[in-house]
Homo-oligomer: A and B are copies of this chain.
Amino acid sequence: MNQKFRCDCPFTSALDILGDKWILVIVKQMLLEGKETFKDFTESEEAIATNILSAKLKLLEESGIIIKTKRPNNKKTNLYLLTERGLALTPILVELAFWSDHHLRDLHPKMLNGEGLQLIRKDKAAFASFFEKKYREKLTNTLFTE
């Protein structure tokens, strides 16, 4: 399944990979909700079907956004972890949430309004680096300790 790009425009090319209903939701779950196993994702609020999840994880791996690995002491459970390329999607997520917060509340009044959003409102970059740092710490814990 080799990725095809519609044209040479950088905006469009990003959407050739990220432009769908699920890819960035999965990245969000990894970065902000700490999800890392197949089961974690199936138990999400968004309720992704297992066949779709399987296909999207494959695509994310092929695009170098995540890697698939295992813990040394567990042969069963796969771990899906963000690469640097995946972590670099954080600012996109931040801008998506910022836009929702400011422009989607009238269409979707029940939308959440927690402390995370308040930080995004006040300082997008701080939000991004907080979660990037947290994820990197988790990575070193996961990859260099049994």
Contact = CB atoms under 8 A, between A and B. Distances in A.
Contact of A10 (B8, B13, B85, B111): B111
B18 A20 contact: no
Interface residues of A, number: 51
Interface string A1-38: 00101111111111111111110110010001000000
A107 interface: yes
A111 B110 CA distance: 40
B6 A46 contact: yes
Given A19-B21, A25-B11, A98-B91, A3 B107 contact: yes
B20 A20 contact: yes
A50 interface: no
Contacts of A117: 10
Contacts of A16: 21
A5 B108 contact: yes
A103 B15 CA distance: 13
Contacts of A9: 28, 45-46, 111-112
Contacts of A104: 10, 13-14, 17
Given A99-B92, A111-B8, A21 B15 contact: yes
A61 to B, nearest CB: 13
B103 A88 contact: yes
A100 B13 contact: yes
